[in-house]
Amino acid sequence: MPSSGQSLMQHGEVTHSVVHEAVEVKIESSDLAVDRAEVESSLGYPGGKMPAHLRPGLEEVLAAYRTHLVVRAGYRIVETRRDPSRPDGMYAGGTFFHMRTLVTGLLKKSELLAFFVCTIGPGMESWRNRLQADGDLAGAFLVDTVASLAVESAVNLLHDRIEVSMRAQGLKITNRYSPGYCDWSVAEQHLLFSLFPPGFCGITLLDSSLMVPIKSVSGVIGIGKQVKRAQYTCDACGMKDCTYRSTRTRSSTPSTKRKIQP
């Protein structure tokens, strides 16, 4: 890729120099951040209201979860264009992604698209399954919740790395969006994964569009001179039980997640 001093704009358009094939980004498990308050809020106990008998189990999970992680992440940048006759989607390379109106509108000023995948590996899932098999359902739920927050933390780091890389090229980025959210069909996971080599970052996509390991995330980020990364506008989306909605609005909205019963 070109140096930050090299011009990337010719006649107002991004040149081909930023486009690249799939690359992995090194993220260490020690880089991830999941804190107690975040977990408690996700479980439905904001403000330190988690029952006392659950706290030792949570402390145990928080102390050990990083040893169960194998973080892998990567992305690919492709050129994009919009077809006026197909306003509810965008072309990525030669592939049309039917992202629907909301995501397409949020990415409409993008000159490039960064498709990404990220996983924390199967370790947390195996740990959860062992606890569940032993009848420790509360412990299994705690592990699963921490795992979900851990993969979100990993994706945050990947997002930040892409932003730093693009900023060095004189470009900005958008928020990230994933198939299965914001009215974008989860079936388009298959189109997204077609942009990567088989087994990229150790992730397999099933016919059902489910990723394995389960604690994996995929999606797209817009890139360009006229785009911006802003607060998520979850109120514009009608999907009320979205994981992103709960994690990105918990600081201002009471949690509606089902609590672990005492």
Tokens of 67: 């040893």
Measured CA to CA in angstroms, residue 95 lies from 47, 76, 117, 233 at distances of: 46, 14, 18, 27
Please give the pLDDT value at position 57.
96
- The Cα 100–Cα 85 span in angstroms is 13
User: pTM value?
Assistant: 0.84
- Residues pairing with 205 in the sheet: 211
Please name the CATH architecture into which domain 9-249 falls: 3-Layer(aba) Sandwich (3.40)
Q: What confidence tens digit (pLDDT) does each residue in 161-198 have?
A: 999 999 999 999 999 999 999 999 999 999 999 999 99
Stretches in the chain below the pLDDT threshold 70: 1-17, 232-262
So where are the chain's domains? 9-249
Q: What confidence tens digit (pLDDT) does each residue in 11-47 have?
A: 344 445 678 899 999 999 999 999 999 999 999 998 8
Measured CA to CA in angstroms, residue 156 lies from 18, 43, 86, 162, 213 at distances of: 21, 21, 31, 10, 18
Please give the pLDDT value at position 11.
34
